[in-house]
C-alpha cells in the first residue's frame, strides 16, 4: 500500500486493517512520520513531533499484535494531542512563553484513555496562547497555515489539529472547544470535528482551562 493511501485512511478502517494484519503499526507510523517530515515545515501543524517515541510504541504494538494479545479499539492508530492538553513527560506549552519548558508529570484523562485504547501519540499540535486568539499563532512556534492555501490560516484554537488531519499527517487529532475551537478550524480545513456534549469526556487535571465551556 502506498504511503499516501495509508496517511489518508480513516481511523476506523486503519484500526481494522491493523487488527487483520493487512497493515502493521510500524508501517503506519513510518508513513505518517515521513509525511510530517515533508509537510510540517510549511504548514506548522505540529509544534512537537515524537519521532522516536512513536516508532518505539509502534514496535511494541506490533509485538502485541503478533502475539495475539488483547487489542484496544485504536490499537496502532496514530493520534496527535493539542498543546493545551497535559501529556506526561512531553512538553506542553499552551502556546505561551510562560510554559515554554513545562513538562507535565501526568496525562490528562483523555490521553490516559487514548493510550489505553492502543492509540500512538505522534506529537503536540499548535494552538494560540492558552487557546485564546482568533488564529492559531503564538510567540513560540508561529502561525499554523491552512493546508489548502498556505496564505490562509487554519482557524482557532485547534488549528494545528485540524491542519494535521487535512494534510494527512495523522488520521485523528484531539482538540478542545469552548467557543468554536474545534468547529471553526474543522470548517476552515475541510475535515470533520466533533464537540461532544458537556460531560461526555471527563476533564480532570491537565485539561483545557475553559472550565464549563470546553
By the 10 Å C-beta count (0-12 exposed, 13-18 middle, 19+ buried), 89 is classed as: exposed
Q: Give Cα separations from 128 to 9, 13, 91, 102, 139 (angstroms).
A: 28, 32, 16, 16, 9
Residue spans of alpha helices (H) in 44-170: 51-67, 109-116, 159-166
List phi, psi (to 5°) of 5. Answer: -65, -40
Residues paired with residue 51 on neighbouring β-strands, in sequence order: none
Q: Identify the helix (H) or strand (E) that includes residue 111.
A: helix 109-116
Give the residue numbers marked as catalytic: 82, 157, 181
Length of the chain measured in residues? 214
Amino acid at each position: 500500500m502506498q504511503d499516501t493511501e495509508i496517511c489518508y485512511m480513516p481511523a476506523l478502517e486503519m484500526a481494522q486493517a491493523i487488527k487483520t494484519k493487512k497493515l502493521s503499526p510500524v508501517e503506519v507510523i513510518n508513513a505518517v512520520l515521513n509525511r510530517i517530515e515533508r509537510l510540517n515545515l510549511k504548514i506548522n501543524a505540529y509544534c512537537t513531533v515524537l519521532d522516536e517515541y512513536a516508532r518505539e510504541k509502534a514496535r511494541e504494538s506490533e509485538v502485541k499484535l503478533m502475539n495475539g494479545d488483547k487489542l484496544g479499539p485504536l490499537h496502532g492508530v496514530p493520534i496527535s494531542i493539542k498543546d493545551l492538553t497535559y501529556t506526561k513527560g512531553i512538553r506542553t506549552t499552551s502556546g505561551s512563553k510562560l510554559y515554554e519548558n513545562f513538562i507535565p508529570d501526568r496525562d490528562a484523562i483523555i490521553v490516559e484513555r487514548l493510550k489505553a485504547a492502543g492509540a500512538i501519540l505522534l506529537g503536540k499540535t499548535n494552538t494560540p496562547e492558552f487557546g485564546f486568539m482568533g488564529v492559531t499563532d503564538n510567540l513560540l512556534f508561529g502561525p499554523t497555515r491552512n493546508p489548502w492555501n498556505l496564505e490562509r490560516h487554519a482557524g482557532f484554537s485547534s488549528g494545528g489539529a485540524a491542519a494535521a488531519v487535512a494534510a494527512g499527517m495523522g488520521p485523528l487529532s484531539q482538540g478542545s472547544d469552548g467557543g468554536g475551537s474545534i468547529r471553526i478550524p474543522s470548517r476552515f480545513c475541510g475535515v470533520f470535528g466533533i464537540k461532544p456534549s458537556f460531560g461526555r469526556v471527563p476533564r480532570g487535571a491537565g485539561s483545557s482551562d475553559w472550565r464549563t465551556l470546553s
